[in-house]
């Protein structure tokens, strides 16, 4: 896939781009290098999409490069599955790292050498305190920490202990390597942070080569320096970690001096982006895996049919800011509709079918009617749709005793069948339970194509499918996974799960032209919404996921607000 490009001449403005422009103009850097550094302990979500678009986007705009680097420092939670899914997601979004694929584990030897360097220079020590004691000694936001009783070990003693840790002589959790900074610092991250811990677990890439692993804080900045990253762009929760990032870069013989810049992470209504919560949803079976279309993961969004162009447009619309805020999910939906409206071919599908027999239409006859593929795209052309004596319409499009503002089909009423004829309901057939099971109608042959030569009008146009030619399909209707716009605000986030987030309709009818679409191909079921085929389907019985409905609440809100 080609790298998505944006010309620097477009002069998109935000504080990150302003910093980059100033750095290039001043000669601080003559080339820009960014990186997207996920931890491979889960699937990427839409919040990561914002970071991907920013890091790869600014690199493209300023003729630089962006690395994909996996910060794989925790072997207990990391899997090859997650690495492969992340690579797939980044490419799907439209970006490519070329030859610049890296892993923090590539640098384990160098990182360990730097750990010894800090010990030799008196800036790190081996601590025997337990994890609970380290927390207790660290103090609080209002109370300074206390020095560990092991803080003043000799350099020789610390070096010997570190090497024995490296050799696997000590059990998990018995010792750690800590930076020697300032236990009275107002920033808790600077109170002698842990740099290495003992963890006798096989690593997905290095296997059993290591039994001690660097912490994220130690590996991250140094990996940036090794790769000559110029602008280490991350979200605001790392702002308090920046002094430690700078301290390590300044106190190690690193080959370059990257700088960290923080921007506001994405918060979205009705959406949870906590990896911990997402992992719990999967582990407890609340969803059907990481790629469940209700999940905010990129795999889930892709399976739901969200186009990557819409996500890139969404990232551009929300922009890059320094202060956290919450974005209305309606804006994301607007971006999705905006793309699909132009791209998605139209087809007809009846989700809750009601049989209609057109008694005036010849038995055994079929005619092919002309239907427009996409009224928003003149180049999309048209298709042929079969029409016959027996058709299905949507059950909600008929009422036996309609209220005043119901204009669809009712006894004695005439409506238009899209691309076909005017029909009039003459008889209602019910079963023994009194349920409507069939309608008997007549048609006006002169209205073929949907217009009456005498100029008479009808107030409603219905979609339909020919009963003899329809393909049976399963359709999955998705709604918000959470009922609250702020899930978990009043307690356990799982208490806000929407019990009706998925509705499965297993007896739908679709026109033949909607079957056999490849995965990822979006379409609009007329009057129903946008849909895409799901991998669970088969040629004989396709399955469709509803991507989004047709109603655009965000656009209406913006129009109302002027």
CATH of the domain at 514: 2.40.240.10
Handedness of CA 9, 15, 16, 22 (dihedral sign): positive
Place of tokens 């030799």: 120
Residue 323: name the closest of 41, 108, 15 by CA: 15
What is the total count of domains within the chain?
A: 4
In a shared domain, residues 459 and 354: yes
Count CB atoms within 10 A of the CB of residue 106.
18
Judge whether 173 and 211 are in contact, CB under 8 Å: no
Q: Would you state the pLDDT for residue 11?
A: 74
Predicted confidence at residue 138, as pLDDT, reads 97
Residue 269: inside a domain, yes or no?
A: yes
Average pLDDT (244-268) is: 97
275 is catalytic: yes
Is the pLDDT at 3 greater than 60, yes or no?
A: no
Residue 317 has pLDDT above 80, yes or no: yes
Q: Which of these three, 444, 463, 482, is where a domain ends?
A: 463
pLDDT digits (tens, 9 = 90+) for 277-289: 999 999 999 999 9
> What average pLDDT does range 394-416 have in this prediction?
97
The catalytic residue among 35, 39, 138, 191 is 39
Closest CA to 197 of 180, 210, 182, 186: 210
Of 424, 443, 463, which marks where a domain is finished? Answer: 463
pTM passes above 0.85: yes
Q: Is residue 469 part of a domain?
A: no
Longest dimension (CA), the chain: 102
Same domain, 113 and 211: yes
Q: Report the distance separating Cα 255 and Cα 488, nearest Å.
A: 45
- Based on its alpha-carbon atoms, the radius of gyration of the chain, rounded to whole angstroms, reads 30
- Kindly report the backbone phi and psi dihedral angles of residue 131, in degrees, each rounded to the nearest multiple of 5, phi listed first: -60, -40
Catalytic (active site) residue 153: no
User: Residues 209, 145: one domain?
Assistant: yes
Specify whether 172 is located in the same domain as 90: no
What CATH number is associated with residue 223?
Answer: 3.40.50.620
pLDDT in tens, 127-152: 999 999 999 999 999 999 999 999 99
Domain identity same for 211 and 232: no
| C-alpha span between 509 and 296 (Å, rounded) | 29
* Same-domain status, 302 and 365: no
Q: Which of 441, 463, 485 is the last residue of a domain?
A: 463
Of 12, 21, 123, 265, which one is the catalytic site residue?
265
pLDDT category at 520 given cuts 50, 70, 90 is: confident
Q: Is 243 helix (H, G, I), strand (E, B) or coil?
A: helix
Q: Are residues 439 and 355 in the same domain?
A: yes
Active-site residue, from 35, 166, 275, 413? 275
C-alpha 178: how far from its chain's center?
A: 37
Q: Which residues contact 264 (CB under 8 A, 6 or more apart)?
A: 235, 236, 320, 321, 322, 323, 324, 325
Task: Identify whether 520 is part of a domain.
Answer: yes
Q: Which domain holds residue 194?
A: 109-215
Q: Do residues 394 and 527 both lie within one domain? A: no
Tell me if 302 is assigned to some domain.
yes
């Amino acid at each position: 896939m080609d790298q998505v490009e944006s010309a620097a001449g477009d002069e998109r403005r935000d504080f990150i781009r302003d910093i980059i422009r100033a750095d290039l103009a001043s000669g601080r850097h003559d080339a820009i290098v960014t990186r997207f550094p996920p931890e491979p302990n889960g699937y990427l979500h839409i919040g990561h999409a914002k970071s991907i678009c920013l890091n790869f986007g600014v690199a493209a705009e300023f003729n630089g490069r962006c690395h994909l680097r996996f910060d794989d420092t925790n072997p207990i939670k990391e899997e090859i599955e997650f690495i492969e899914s992340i690579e797939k997601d980044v490419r799907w979004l439209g970006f490519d790292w070329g030859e610049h694929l890296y892993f923090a584990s590539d640098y384990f030897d160098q990182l360990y050498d730097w750990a010894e360097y800090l010990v030799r220079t008196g800036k790190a020590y081996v601590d025997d305190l337990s994890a609970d004691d380290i927390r207790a000694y660290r103090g609080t936001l209002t109370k300074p920490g206390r020095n560990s009783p092991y803080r003043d070990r000799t350099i020789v003693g610390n070096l010997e202990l570190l090497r024995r840790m490296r050799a696997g002589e000590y059990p998990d959790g018995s010792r750690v390597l800590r930076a020697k900074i300032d236990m009275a610092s107002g920033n808790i991250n600077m109170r002698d942070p842990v740099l290495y811990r003992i963890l006798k677990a096989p690593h997905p890439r290095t296997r059993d080569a290591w039994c001690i692993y660097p912490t994220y804080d130690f590996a991250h900045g140094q990996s940036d320096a090794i790769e000559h990253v110029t602008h280490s762009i991350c979200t605001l929760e790392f702002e308090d970690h920046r002094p430690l990032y700078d301290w390590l870069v300044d106190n190690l013989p690193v080959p370059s001096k990257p700088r960290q810049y923080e921007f506001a992470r994405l918060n979205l209504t009705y959406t949870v982006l906590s990896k911990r919560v997402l992992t719990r949803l999967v582990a407890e079976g609340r969803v059907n895996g990481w790629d469940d279309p209700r999940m905010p993961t990129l795999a889930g969004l892709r399976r739901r049919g969200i186009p990557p162009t819409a996500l890139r447009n969404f990232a551009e619309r929300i922009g890059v800011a320094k202060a956290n805020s919450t974005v209305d999910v309606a804006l994301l939906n607007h971006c999705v509709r905006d793309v699909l409206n132009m791209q998605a071919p139209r087809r007809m599908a009846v989700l809750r079918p009601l049989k209609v027999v057109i008694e005036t239409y010849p038995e055994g006859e079929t005619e092919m009617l002309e239907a427009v593929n996409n009224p928003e795209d003149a180049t999309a052309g048209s298709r042929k749709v079969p029409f016959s004596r027996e058709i299905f319409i949507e059950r909600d499009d008929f009422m036996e005793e309609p209220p005043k503002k119901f204009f669809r089909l009712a006894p004695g009423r005439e409506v238009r069948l899209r691309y076909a004829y005017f029909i009039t309901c003459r008889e209602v057939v019910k079963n023994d339970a009194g349920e409507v099971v069939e309608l008997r109608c007549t048609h006006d042959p002169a209205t073929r194509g949907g217009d009456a030569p005498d100029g008479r009008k009808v107030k409603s146009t219905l979609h339909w499918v020919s009963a003899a030619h329809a393909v049976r399909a399963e359709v999955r209707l998705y709604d918000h996974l959470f009922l609250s716009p702020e899930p978990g605000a009043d307690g356990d986030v799982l208490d806000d799960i929407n019990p009706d987030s998925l509705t499965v309709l297993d007896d739908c009818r679709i026109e033949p032209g909607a079957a056999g679409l490849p995965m990822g191909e979006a379409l609009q079921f007329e009057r129903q919404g946008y849909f895409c085929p799901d991998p669970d389907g088969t040629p004989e019985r396709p399955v469709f996921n509803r991507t989004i409905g047709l109603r655009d609440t965000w656009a209406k809100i913006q129009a109302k607000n002027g």
